Amino acid sequence: MMKTINLLKIGDLNHSVLVKLKKKLELGFKRFNLSVNIVQEEIPLEETEYNPRKRQYNAIKILKKIIIYAQNKKDFHVLGVMDKDIFSSGLKFVFGRAIKAEGRAPESPIVALISITRLRESFYGRTENKGLFELRILKEAIHELGHTFNLDHCNKLCIMRFSNSISDTDEKPPKFCEDCVNKLEIFFKNSS
Ligand SMILES: [Zn+2]
Ligand SMILES: [Zn+2]
């Protein structure tokens, strides 16, 4: 059975980000027979998800909202994409968050979230670089989706390496190492 990843816009976001990401994700996950769809609906950001002291949105609250949105749709696999800075318990900021498939009730949706705000060169006071920006978005999307396919962080030269800063993101390749590919193959074989 072909799995579909649904890209969901969270708050204000340039639509072209999703269009480009869809194409690249389809290429990246081709060997696993995944398709990518852009959801027509979008979810607004709410004040209750914003922390004015941190000037950031709470990633976990937003993930919970995506779960509620996706709950009644069977086999719904969602990657939320947003353009506001996010934090997650204990961490000053995160590029994204995901809920692993492991330990999840079989009927609950699979969700992940990325924020593209810190992926722009201009965030660091440098000149914009569109190609780099798009590559970083792809990397963060693949990384968070990797978690939803039950992958943990990986110390190899691998997309599943943990990113603590944008240079960590730039250093890792936009693909899985051999070990992670093997784990993914087992995951997809068992879930099909
Ligand atoms: Zn991670
Ligand atoms: Zn790996």
| In the chain, domain spans | 3-191
Does the active-site annotation cover 144?
yes
Rg (alpha carbons) of the chain, rounded to whole number:
16
Closest ligand to residue 145's CA: 1
* CA 138 from centroid of its chain's CA atoms: 9
CA of 144 to the centre of ligand 2 (A): 13
At 30 the pLDDT is 87
Catalytic residue among 102, 107, 128, 144: 144
CA of 160 to the centre of ligand 1 (A): 6
Length of the chain as a residue count: 192
CA of 157 to the centre of ligand 2 (A): 7
pLDDT per residue as tens digits for the range 28-75: 888 888 999 999 999 999 999 999 999 999 999 999 999 999 887 766
pLDDT per residue as tens digits for the range 104-162: 676 778 899 999 999 999 999 999 999 999 999 999 999 999 999 999 999 999 999 99
Q: Within 10 Å of residue 81's Cβ, how many Cβ atoms?
A: 25
What's the pTM value of the predicted model, to 2 decimals? 0.94
The topology under which CATH files domain 3-191 is: Collagenase (Catalytic Domain) (3.40.390)
CA of 57 to the centre of ligand 1 (A): 18
Is beta strand 96-98 parallel, antiparallel or unpaired with respect to 91-94?
unpaired
Query: Treating both helix axes as pointing N-terminal to C-terminal, what angle do 15-28 and 130-148 enclose, rounded to 10 degrees?
Result: 60
Q: Show the tokens assigned to 31.
A: 């060997």
Of 183, 178, 143, 146, which Cα lies nearest the Cα of 162? 143
192: pLDDT confidence band, cut at 50, 70 and 90?
A: low
The three state secondary structure string of 168-188 is: HHHHCCCCCCHHHHHHHHHHH
Q: Average pLDDT for residues 2-12, to the nearest whole number?
A: 92
Q: 183 vs 32, 151, 177, 186, CA distance in Å?
A: 12, 7, 10, 5
